[in-house]
Amino acid sequence: MKLYELPGEYKPLLDLKQTELAIKQIKEIFQLNLSSSLCLRRVTAPLFVLQGTGLNDDLTGTEHAVSFPIQDMNGAVAEVVHSLAKWKRVTLADYEITPGHGIYTDMNAIRAHEELDNLHSLYVDQWDWERVMTEDERTVAFLCSVVEDIYTAILHTEFAISEHYPQLVPSLPKKITFIHSEELLAKYPTLTAKEREERITREFGAVFIIGIGGKLSNGEPHDNRAPDYDDYSTRNEAGYEGLNGDLLIWSEVLGKAVELSSMGIRVDKKALLHQLQLSGKEERLELYFHKRLLAGTLPLSIGGGIGQSRLCMLLLKKAHIGEIQASIWPCEMRSACKALNIPLI
């Protein structure tokens, strides 16, 4: 457990009742903006999937999903989802979604491994989205155009919520800055990856870092990614590896960069085989999801997740994710937050 040191004295701009209403308004406004911008239709998502299908996201590969046996299925085990990165791609195929269109859903997850702090909770809620694309759209330029659409939806939501609550003065930059993780390393060669994120996001306010998961020139990845959903190894038109990235926004309240979204162009057959080989995870080729991808029954796609509670935190200028969502927090954290005038739900 850790609590970030706030750069100044904290006073919530909305009381508890206003906050609850504003959360509802943000979620309604943003998902309407997102779905209309990217041509997405809403679908119903699972809370858990069967173990051993390859449908669950294993994140960096070290986290273990919360699981339980299913009494009426002869001991088959269900896993609470970490995210729906692979499930969505199967759903695109099953719903026969055409290129240029896609799906979004409310994803609710439990991540029991999280180290709890202002931004990390046991409970994760995000808009998971996925869109069918064509072969010629597998470029970093297309990736960036989709990021710009998402960021525009965020800006529109920020403006709309400020119309309801004038004390929430819009502060996001009008444009998002793009930089590849290799360029970021060259810019700040003596800093760690997280320190580089902090520095660039503080400078520009809103940043999309391209290329997450592949090794950089220093022999290390900017951050880890599972090898079987985002394509982080294909060389893009700029000459760097990676067709994925992270969207970060600077929080003046926290004095920190907040990762709002992880997204990317998904692996095709070639990238899947290559990344599984690089990571030593070739045994996954026998799983349901991977077999379908190799058989060509899943469409090319781009997708990601956008943190619901984190977006509300940023737009409502909150200091702790526990002001947005109901979760479990250590007694010491609740006491420390109370002393800092941070009211946890």
Which of 102, 104, 118, 121 shows the shortest CA–CA distance to 27? 104
Continuous H helices in the chain: 16-38, 85-94, 140-164, 181-187, 193-204, 269-279, 288-294, 308-315, 331-339
Other CB atoms within 10 Å distance of the CB of residue 149: 14
Cα–Cα distance measured from residue 105 to residue 81, given in angstroms and rounded to the nearest whole number? 13
Q: How many CA atoms lie within 13 A of 72 on its CB side?
A: 0
Q: Catalytic: 223?
A: no
Q: Catalytic: 126?
A: yes
In eight-state DSSP terms, residue 223 is S
Q: Catalytic: 106?
A: no
Q: Catalytic: 57?
A: yes
Q: Which of 259, 279, 284, 292 is catalytic?
A: 259
Q: Catalytic: 111?
A: yes
Cα–Cα distance measured from residue 343 to residue 57, given in angstroms and rounded to the nearest whole number? 32
Cα–Cα distance measured from residue 336 to residue 214, given in angstroms and rounded to the nearest whole number? 39
Q: Which of 31, 233, 251, 262 is catalytic?
A: 262
Q: Is 104 helix (H, G, I), strand (E, B) or coil?
A: strand
* Backbone angles phi and psi of 77, in degrees to 5: -110, 135
User: CB neighbours of 11 closer than 8 A, spacing ≥ 6?
Assistant: 341
Q: Which of 35, 57, 198, 310 is catalytic?
A: 57
Q: Which of 83, 121, 126, 251 is catalytic?
A: 126
Q: Which of 89, 111, 196, 225 is catalytic?
A: 111
Q: Which of 158, 241, 246, 323 is catalytic?
A: 246
Q: Catalytic: 217?
A: no
Contact by Cβ (8 Å): 91, 123: no
**What residues act catalytically?**
57, 111, 126, 246, 259, 262
